[in-house]
Amino acid sequence: MNVIVTGCAGFIGSHTTEELLSRGHTVIGVDSMTYAASEENMKEFIDSIDFHNIDINDTEKIHNIVTTHGVEWIINFAAETHVDNSIVSVEPFIRSNIDGVFSLLEVCRNTGCKILHISTDEIYGSATKGSFTETDNFNPKNPYSATKAAAEHLVTSFHNTYGVEYKMTRMSNNFGPRQHQEKFIPTILRSLRSNKKIPIYGDGKNIRDWFYVKDCAKCVVDVLELGEMNEVYNLTLQNELENIEVVNIILEEFDLDPQENIEFVADRLGHDFRYSIDNEKFLGISSRTPTDFRKSLQQTIKNK
């Protein structure tokens, strides 16, 4: 297929671009090269794609790319994603995560192109028990997750109103090579390499579902190729760990003492305690087993 990958110079988008190319798809890359993007992320595939340095809010340019290249799918990774940044300033999240999605949907509405929209498990809010399924209600608790929830409503409304066809994924917490330094595991590694203590919010007991980015990229392309039209899929391979557990595992890799390398800091405003999603629906279209967590961490450390 001919596909546009927005956010192709970012973390998950670059890995998914590689996975698409490995399966024989033709990729047109779109990225506005904000602070979270990097030419280095594209070095392995830049000569294999047609790259455009443009903003997804430039509806006319995206429309022209779709019509010129006969694009069948837009895979939308382009987004502001860091919760702390959304707490400080909401406007960039509205522009990228809501206005940008509206722009892409307008292109789809006017060209017949389909959209695979990348969302997040954070739209469900905190899971006190059990795991969320795709039919559970949204309960976003911070500006980032609120804008992602709004984007989902736009996608489904454009399907219902204008017949735009879509697929959607809600993925758990990714980690791996190329992740931006503002995220949790890169912060741990940067602290250790700078001989600084690792800052941990609150008591470190918050739980996240850790999803290796290369596994995630495979799952996203599985949804593109095998998923039902106009359906949503939770993407996870179910590896829930407390933040403090992740820190301790990494410290073991470096043979370092937790007592000497950790400092607890004031908790994030509105910090969700636990994210947890059910992946039974995804496993109905594709059987994937996760990369061993320690092996994937070692690859992350090696490539950081």
Catalytic center residues: 121-122, 144
With beta carbons less than 8 A apart as the criterion, state whether 178 and 215 touch. Answer: no
| DSSP per-residue string spanning 174-207 | EESTT--TTSHHHHHHHHHHTT-PEEEETTS--E
Q: Count of residues for the chain? A: 304
Write the CA distances from 277 to 95, 137, 202, 238, 295, integer angstroms. Answer: 27, 12, 23, 8, 23
Helix (H, G, I), strand (E, B) or coil at 57: coil
Determine the Cα–Cα distance for residues 12 and 300; give it in Å rounded to an integer.
13
Determine the Cα–Cα distance for residues 216 and 12; give it in Å rounded to an integer.
8
Give the chain's radius of gyration (CA, Å): 19
Scanning the structure block, which residue is given the tokens 């003492």?
257
Three-class DSSP labels, 65-127: HHHHHCCCEEEECCCCCCHHHHHHCCHHHHHHHHHHHHHHHHHHHHHCCEEEEEEEHHHHCCC
